[in-house]
Structure 1
Amino acid sequence: MGLRMTQGPAEEPVSLQEAKLHLNLDLADTTWDAKIQSLITAARIHAENVCRRVFVTQKYDLYLDAFPFYTYYGVIPGYVPVDQLPSAWMTMRNYAVRFRGSRIDIPFPRLQSVDAVTYIDPTGATQTLDPSLYVVDAISEPGVLTPKTNTYWPDTENTTNAVKISFTAGYGDAAAVPDGIKTWILLRVGSLFENREEVLVAYRVTVQALPYVDTLLDPYRIMGYA
């Protein structure tokens, strides 16, 4: 699986002015503006990596070597379509069995949209999959892409990166980013600004992290992918 950013965030979740207020700096003094802005970006990137999501709207291309091929039960769909499973099995399992093996998890929630799905067919030609042939679940985190009911993903050429899924992710603009994330970024910027070296050299000084700080990100973490 490959992942490439095609459009970065238009702004940071925390503005330069907000950071300077947090640092108790004079807003009219621009001496440290460039440094503070770089610290905001560094803190945001770290928080995104911890949470496994993106904050302000970004665009990505997700590359796969092929579409998912197997159903929930590990059999080839062309031989045993799950839609034709015995009715008793479907009664026993009250979830959408067919989607489990065909689902594609889209990284970096919150998923806003799937903009295009293209693939290289067995003849080597690049095809764009009609949006009516797949279902986008933007409610789940991570978001999920599945084929339309009673259909399966098309065959692809046996090559790397045969499938490309272009998508838009993030909460929206800076105003839409949760306050807990913004607070963590401000605290991290404050720490980085006050300690601008890799190590702290001091004598008879106790350094202790505030235990609650990193827990601010806990509600926004994506713990794993299905």
Structure 2
Amino acid sequence: MGIRLTQAPAEEPVALDDAKLHLRVTDSSEDTLISMLISAARIHAENVCRRVFVTQKWDLFLDAFPFYTYYGVIPGYVPVDQLPSAWMTMRNYAVRFRGSKIDIPFPRLQSVDAVKYIDASGVTQTMDPSAYVVDTISEPGVLTPKTGTYWPDTENTTNAVQISFTAGYGAAVDVPAGIKSWILLRVGALYENREEVSVATRVTVQELPYVDTLLDPYRIMGYA
């Protein structure tokens, strides 16, 4: 399986002016640097939370649609639940199959925009939206075939299924305050420490214990 960003967020959750106010920077000489730091902090937070913030579009690729076995998994595949726990933090493994269900990564899921597949004869087909059900309430969102139906057969090839979807909270104003606060704090740390390591003598470095917990309410910790 693979996943590809097709439309990046139109804005960052934290505006440049807000970051400059947090950093107490009044001129524009470092606007480019600060903007880069905002983007870096946002991407880090998205990876930690296993979600995206401002609206983005993605394509999810699968080699086939899932189908039921007695145990509700795909024959020959190990469910993501059974992969090593360290792998679960990687974005590549943010998708799993539950019977005929497909979990869509990077909540909140706003919409499934298209479901395409290569059929058994090698022709690319686009499914009618009435043939599947989109659950935007669950996190991660879930895509299932219409009740009483099954996913169609696909050609035995890589990336036979392409699911295009839109995800995120919405605009920057819709991103929770806790996430924005974490990004500002991380931007501050990156701005003050511009190297990979800090070299100093007679200095005590102490982490603020509450910082990373700001993201806890927004983390996708696992699947039920």
TM-score bracket relative to the smaller structure: 0.7 to 0.9
Matched with 2:179 is: 181
Please give the alpha-carbon distance, in whole angstroms, between the structure 2 residues aligned to 1:180 and 1:104.
29
Q: Which residue is equivalent to 2:5?
A: 5
Larger radius of gyration: 1
Map 1:163-202 onto structure 2 (within 5 A).
163-202=161-200
Aligned counterpart, 2:35: 37
* 1:95-154 superposed Cα distances (whole Å, 9 cap, x missing partner): xxxx94000000000000000000000000000011001000000000000000000000
How far did 1:208 drift? Answer: 1.1
Paired with 1:123 and 1:113, the residues of 2 have a C-alpha distance of: 29
TM-score w.r.t. length of structure 1 = 0.87
**Aligned match for 2:201, one of 188, 200, 203:** 203
- Deviation readout 1:182-217 (Å, 9 max, x if unpaired): 000000000000111111111100011101000000
What pairs with 1:74-153 in structure 2 (closer than 5 Å)?
74=72, 100-153=98-151
Runs of 4+ residues over 4 Å off in structure 1: none
Residue correspondences, number: 202
Q: Equivalents in 1 of 2:71, 2:25: separation in Å?
A: 60
Q: Measure how far apart 1:70 and its partner are.
A: 1.4
**What is the CA-CA distance between 1:75 and the residue it aligns to?**
8.4
Q: Aligned with 1:123: secondary structure?
A: coil
Consecutive unaligned residues of structure 2, counting only runs of 5 or more, are 75-96
